[in-house]
Amino acid sequence: MSDRYLNLVNSPVGSAVAARVGLPQPSVLRRYEAGAPILPGPVLLGSTSPKPAAGLRKAVEATGAEVLDLAGEGVKVAAAVLDARSVSAPGDLARLREFLQPATKALAANGRVLVLGTPADGADITADATRQALDGIVRSLAKELRRGATANLLWVQDEASLPAALRFFLSGRSAYVDGQPVLLGAGTAPAPADWTQPLAGKTALVTGAARGIGAAIAGVLARDGAKVICADLTQAGEALAKVANRVGGTALHLDVAAPEASATLLEHLAAQTAGLDVLVHNAGITRDKLMANMKPEQWDSVIAVNLQSQLSINAALLDSDQLNQQARVVCLSSTTGLSGNRGQTNYGATKSGVIGLVRASAAAFAAHGDSTINAVAPGFIDTEMTAKMPFATREVARRLSSLQQAGLPVDVAEGVAWLASPGAGGVNGQVLRVCGQNLVGA
C-alpha cells in the first residue's frame, strides 16, 4: 500500500505547502541497493578521547567511505561517527556537544549518526551514570533529526562484531532503525569472504514465509547468499511455492503450532540439509479483542502460534544434532511487546514473552558453539495486515515515529539479516526495534 502523503510532500508543491502549515514531512528513505556504496558520501569521525582508537578508523575506512576529521565549511557528510567510549564524568559529555552540534548541521539527507559507548560495568557509579547519558543523548537526537536521518548507539564491549554492525547501521539496510542502542559483546564474529554475500553456504529457515514480512525476510536472506527453506501453513501452499521459487529456495508445509511441528522440522532438516544455520521465527497471528471481550480460543491460538511454538522448536533444535555451530536464531517480537497496545493483551503477552525468551535463551545458544538468539521488534510496517486498518487510523499511525512514516517489510528483513549474519556473533539475547523510533511506548 503506497504512502500517498509521503509522495505528496516530496513533490515541489506539496513540500512547500507542508512546510508552510507545519505538517509532517517524511522523506523517501535511502534503502540498500546491491552494488551501491555503503555510504553515498564522507564520514565525519570524532572521538571524546585525545587518542582516537585506530581500530575504529580502520573499520570505518573498510566500508569504503572517505573519513574526515573536521566538518569543512559547506561540506555535507553522509554519516557522523563519534567514539565516546572514554567518557567517565559528567563534564566529559561536553565533548559530545562539541562534536555533534556541527556534525548535525553538516549531516546530509538520510544521514547516519552513530555513537559508540562503553557499557556500564558496575565498577564506578560516576562512570556508569555518565556512560548511560549517551542513551538519552542519542534517543533525543534521533527525535530531532529530519530528512530520513537516524541516530543509533553501539555499546562496545568487544570489537569483534563492529565491522558487521557498522555496515548495517551506516548503510541503507538500517533505514527504519532509529534511536536504538545495541550491545556488541564477545562472540565469534567471522568476517565473510564477500560482504555482499555474508550468508553464502548457509541454510536458513523462515516460518510464515508465504507473505508479508516473512516473504521479505526469505528474499533478503537469499539475496545475502543463504539457501532458504520457506515454511508456512498448508493453506498458504500456492503463495508459499511462489515465494520459494522467487528466492531460489524450497517450500515446507509446517504449522508451527501443531504438536508434531518440531518432529516434522527435524525430519526435514535431517533428510534435506547439512543442518540449520539460521532460523527465523516469523509466523505470527493477531486475534485482537479488549480483555473484557476476549474468548479462550482468541487467547489460546495467539499464545500457541506466537510464543509456545518458538519455545518448543528451540528446545527441540538444541536437543538435536540439526542445529549447526554459530547458528543464528531471530524471533519476531513487536513494539507492542515493549509498550503494550489497546486490544492486544494476548498478542502483547506473546511479543513480550519472545523478549523474555531471547534473554533467557542467550546463554544456552552461546554454549551451542557460539550461536546467538535475538529478537526483532517491528513497529508500524505496511503489510496486508496494516492495509486493512481504517484510513484515518492508518494515516495517524504512519506519522507516529521519528521518521514520520511506516516501515516496509524489507526494513524488518534487513534487521533480521544482520542478526543472522556470521559477523553479528557478539549480539546475543537482545531486541532490535525496527520502528523508525515509535513516538509512543518504546
Ligand X SMILES: NC(=O)c1ccc[n+]([C@@H]2O[C@H](COP(=O)([O-])OP(=O)(O)OC[C@H]3O[C@@H](n4cnc5c(N)ncnc54)[C@H](O)[C@@H]3O)[C@@H](O)[C@H]2O)c1
59-66 contacts: CB < 8 A, separation 24 or more?
A: 59/159, 59/162, 59/163, 59/166, 60/166, 60/170, 62/163, 63/38, 63/39, 63/166, 63/167, 63/170, 63/171, 64/37, 64/38, 64/39, 65/37, 65/38, 65/39, 65/41, 65/170, 66/41, 66/42
DSSP 137-151: HHHHHHHH--TT-EE
What is the spatial distance between Cα 284 and Cα 256, in angstroms, rounded to a whole number? 10
Are 386 and 404 spatial neighbours (Cβ–Cβ below 8 Å)?
no
Query: Of 40-48, 76-84, 129-137, 211-219, which segment contacts ligand X by CB under 6 A?
Result: 211-219
Q: Pick the binder of ligand X from 178, 232, 277, 411 (CB under 6 A).
A: 232
Nearer to ligand X, 124 or 384 (CB): 384
Q: Is 284 in the site for ligand X (CB under 6 A)?
A: yes
Report how far residue 308's alpha carbon sits from residue 125's, in angstroms, rounded to the nearest whole number.
Answer: 40
Question: Does residue 241 belong to the site contacting ligand X (CB under 6 A)?
Answer: no
Q: Is 151 or 233 the residue whose CB approaches ligand X more closely? A: 233
Task: Please tell me what DSSP assigns to residue 65.
Answer: -
Residue 429 gets the label, from left (phi > 0), alpha (psi -120 to 50) or beta, of left
Q: Which stretch binds ligand X (CB under 6 A): 46-54, 195-203, 232-240, 244-252?
A: 232-240
Stretch that binds ligand X, among 143-151, 160-168, 253-261, 359-367 (CB under 6 A): 253-261
Part of the chain binding ligand X (CB under 6 A), chosen from 52-60, 209-217, 222-230, 316-324: 209-217
Which of 207, 344, 361, 405: binder of ligand X (CB under 6 A)?
A: 207
Q: Is 276 in contact with 317 (CB distance < 8 Å)?
A: yes
Give me the residue label for grid cell 557499557.
Answer: 119
Cell readout for 332 is 519476531
Does 385 help bind ligand X (rule: CB under 6 A)? yes
Residue closer to ligand X (CB basis): 78 or 229? 229
Binding residues for ligand X, total number by CB under 6 A: 28
Taking contact as CB under 6 A, which single stretch among the options 33-41, 151-159, 162-170, 255-263 is the one that binds ligand X? 255-263
Distance CA 26, CA 406 (A): 10
Catalytic residue among 5, 32, 176, 347: 347
Shortest Å distance, C-beta 266 to ligand X: 16
Phi, psi (5° rounding) for residue 216? -65, -40
Among 3, 83, 255, 414, binds ligand X (CB under 6 A): 255
Q: How far apart are alpha carbons 129 and 122 in whole angstroms?
A: 10
Residue whose CB is less far from ligand X, 128 or 288: 288
Q: Closest Cα partner for 155 from 172, 175, 138, 178?
A: 138
Q: Smallest distance from the beta carbon of 408 to ligand X, in angstroms?
A: 10
Q: Is 411 in the site for ligand X (CB under 6 A)?
A: no
Based on CB atoms, which residue is closest to ligand X, 214 or 429?
Answer: 214
Give the single-character DSSP code of 45.
E
For ligand X, the binding residue among 344, 380, 415, 432 (CB under 6 A) is 380
Q: Given candidates 177, 257, 278, 366, which one binds ligand X under the rule CB under 6 A?
A: 257
400 counts as binding ligand X under rule CB under 6 A = no
* Calpha distance 405→378 (Å, rounded): 13
* Contact call for residue 437 and ligand X (CB under 6 A): no
- Assess whether 347 carries a catalytic annotation: yes
For the segment 314-373, give every residue that binds ligand X (CB under 6 A): 332, 334
Residues in contact with ligand X by the rule CB under 6 A = 207-208, 210-214, 232-233, 236, 254-257, 282-285, 305, 332, 334, 378, 380-381, 383-386
